[in-house]
Structure formats: C-alpha cells, structure tokens
Amino acid sequence: MQITKDTVVTLHYEMFDADNTLLDKTEEPISYLHGGYDGIFPLVEEALHGKAVGESVDVKLAPDDAFGDPEEDLIRVEALDVFPADVEVGMMFEADDPESGDVLLFRVTDIADGKAVVDANHPLAGTTIRFVAKVVEIRPATADEVTHGHAHGEHGHDHH
C-alpha cells in the first residue's frame, strides 16, 4: 500500500537544526491523516506522498515551511511583579492576546532589572529544520477520521 489522500500514516521522525543537532524525535510512532488536513508540515506530506511502509524521507524546511519566523509583537517585556516570586528563565505562562482574544503560551527568555522578557513565538521559530521520517504503517482512513480531519486510534487521538 502507498501513501495517498485519506490514508492514515504512522511514522517515526527526527528533527535536526542546521548544525545537525537533534531537536526532537519520536519515542512512540505518530499518526496523521494524509491529504491536506494540516496534520504534518505540508512539504513533509508532499515528500511522503506515494511512499510505502519502510521508506523514508529527508526534508529540509525553511522557517516559513516549519515554525515560521519570529514575530516581534509576540515578544513582551513585563514587570517581574506580575509573575510568581520563583519565576525563572524557561518557565511557561498563559496570557490572553488583547487583540485576538486567543490564549497565548509565553516562555520566559530573560530576567533582568526587575523585568522579564516573555516570548510567545514557537521555540523553533526562525529555525531551518531537517525532518527525517520513516513510514511504519499505512492504512485507509475511516469515514469518521476523514470527517474530523485527523487520525483516531492508537497513535492518533480520539476526542469523543
């Protein structure tokens, strides 16, 4: 069987930065619904199309094709007194975006002079990524999966 639209693809992947440093890898395989459902980076999905179990892809993703470029308006400097006393670099905080009303996840990136710098950009924003994946399983998607636009079951998720 080959990867085509409306198949559920299960794979192991590794992500590397431009210096070939391992950034992330699967411990357990992940599954996504193939065919433009935004379950995986579009260029990776394109590379996987037509592949069979056991085959691999190795795709270089510019920031625009992966986690985007950093957005200045997602970086804020806040007074330390709005944070818990034990705040430290690396901690994460949720805050409402006054413009969109969305909840953003901010990461503390610096603390100095009674202020904290927080950043809601993805930690890998602005990074060129090498995405290496090996196909471990392919199966036809169920009608429910196609309707919901994502894989259910063991390696996907079921929200019922």
Q: Assess if residue 46 is contained within a domain.
A: yes
Does 45 have pLDDT greater than 70?
yes
Domain total in the chain: 2
pTM: 0.81
**Which pLDDT tens digit goes with each residue over 50-84?**
999 999 999 999 999 999 999 998 999 999 999 99
Token look-up 């690396």 returns 90
Under a CB-based contact definition with an 8 Å cutoff, are residues 139 and 8 in contact? Answer: yes
**Which pLDDT tens digit goes with each residue over 82-116?**
999 899 999 999 988 777 888 899 999 999 999 99
Query: Residue 40 maps to which CATH number?
Result: 3.10.50.40
Does residue 63 sit in the same domain as residue 141?
yes
Does 41 have pLDDT greater than 90?
yes
Does residue 102 sit in the same domain as residue 31?
no
Does residue 84 sit in the same domain as residue 99?
yes
Q: Assess if residue 154 is contained within a domain.
A: no
Q: Look up the domain containing 55 and give its range.
A: 7-67+126-148
